[in-house]
Structure 1
């Protein structure tokens, strides 16, 4: 086994044990998406032109993507916490691959996210959401969702290593709540003003939400949208590739060089 694979597996195990020993975080990450589904599904659903059941089918994929985008917040906080407490400095003194620590964190987050998606989907099914597409398309949708979570986690790790402070990371991470609001995760963008619609449709969350709705068979691809939304699967893959290409090397470089 290569050094990176061996060290990365060790760091992944460390992150999973860390998550297991923090039950409050597990409860929060499990209950928050479900709470938002119930709130948006019934409160917003009654205020939109869509029938309630149709809106909940529209909403479930969007909330899945919004939850995946929270990888920025969790990745940032955990990386900043380890840096602030000196854990990263101790890891740097050990003979291991420089990419192992951030890779282990990103990999563990992916495992936790995959497990945490199950109760959310069960609640969605109980509320009337259904997968209308083929099994192959549904598997592709889940794979795309996890790829997006993996990409956003690398953004968070880089920002956490950059801030080096738990409190600052927590405050900055809270601002990521705005990202899904500037997308089509919760509402269609067709009725937005021209400039705001452009901003929303070039938000990676919009391409991802549209891709999941298309693959699940929950809503058609909107006409006249920006390229990432008009071609949602391709647009989502491009966004994920760009985010990984930029932030994964940046995070590894930042970890390897510490404060320099």
Structure 2
């Protein structure tokens, strides 16, 4: 009786989950194949943060001071790791916006695939690319004199917080790519990436800013991740007098969870409303 009920009652929850994962992986593979077809774009995206490290570390680094002392390159690298996660938002918006404008997303919606496959596959591809970018930046940092001074577990936790930030920002990029059509979305995101990065502790300590500006920078979600990663890596420049600076590790978890909780439902709702 139970077997017959299972057979006639449609797919189980486990079946639906496996179906969604398989379809999501298909979309991820499609995006990976696009990297192979356009290697120049991929290489340029990977080398841009490396160029930023060299520029700030060597060109401007001699004029920078770290509050409390310490090497500026060790101060800089956690900020550059986080900035690389922010720069990925533009890539997400571009990919989603292009697929939507060319009707690819609508074709996916008309196919017998899990409704979540397109956004989940996009997220998986972007996270894979971000992991590769982060690994490249770690190697670059080691070559320019950066190192982590904590335990391997703390270093792994720092990498995890960086990827958690990127995971939350993926949903921001997917939503913007679905909601805003044309080049305007990409231009707007690229325009906001640098103010978001510079109005933080990524390149300079917030203690060196005017009091009101430092307070704004401290409450930038990016600043919490950067400060937490500096703390876990044992690099100089973490800590501060404000509550949020003293609880950077906690807020480096809270901020991405809040961002994801806001934008993931928006992505699902927007994806379902396409074509209506």
Q: 1:241 aligns with which of 257, 271, 275?
A: 257
* 1:252 maps onto 2:268 in alignment: yes
Aligned residues: 258
Under a length normalisation based on structure 1, what TM-score does the superposition of the two structures give?
0.94
Q: 1:54 to 1:103 in 2, by over 3 A?
A: same
Aligned-CA RMSD value: 1.7
Per-residue deviation, 1:153 = 1.1
SS at the partner of 1:95? coil
Q: Residue by residue, what CA displacement relative to the aligned partner does 1:85-141 show, whole Å, maximum 9, x if unpaired?
A: 110111111122222101101111111111222222112111110110000000111
| Matching of residues 24-63 of structure 1 within 5 Å | 24-50=40-66, 54-63=71-80
- Structure whose alpha-carbon radius of gyration is higher: 2
Cα deviation, residue 188, structure 1: 0.4
The DSSP-based 3-state class of the residue aligned with 2:62 is coil
* Residue 98 of structure 1 pairs with residue 115 of structure 2: yes
Partners of 1:207 and 1:48 lie apart in 2 by: 21
Aligned to 1:13: 29
CA deviation map 1:10-68 (0-9, x unaligned):
11111111222221221112111110001001222111234997100000000000110
Q: Given that residues 77 and 160 in structure 1 are in contact (C-alpha distance below 8 angstroms), is that contact kept between their aligned partners in structure 2? A: yes
Is it true that 1:126 corresponds to 2:143 in the alignment?
yes
5 Å-filtered alignment, 1:188-207, equals 188-207=205-224
Q: Is the 8 A contact 2:239 2:246 kept in 1?
A: yes
Post-superposition Cα deviations, 1:148-201, rounded to whole Å, max 9, x if no partner, equal 111111100100101122x22221121122210000001000021122111111
Give the structure 2 partner of residue 169 of structure 1. Answer: 185
Change (3 A) 1:53 1:32: farther
Check whether the contact 2:66–2:205 (CA below 8 A) recurs between aligned residues.
no
Task: Tell me the residue number matched to 1:153.
Answer: 170
How far, CA to CA, are the matches of 2:160 and 2:65 in structure 1? 31
CA distance 1:27–1:258, shift in 2 (3 Å):
same
CA change 1:19–1:256 in 2 (3 A) is farther
Structure 2 unmatched runs, 5+: 1-14
- 5+ residue gaps, structure 1, are none
Query: TM-score, length-normalised on structure 2?
Result: 0.89
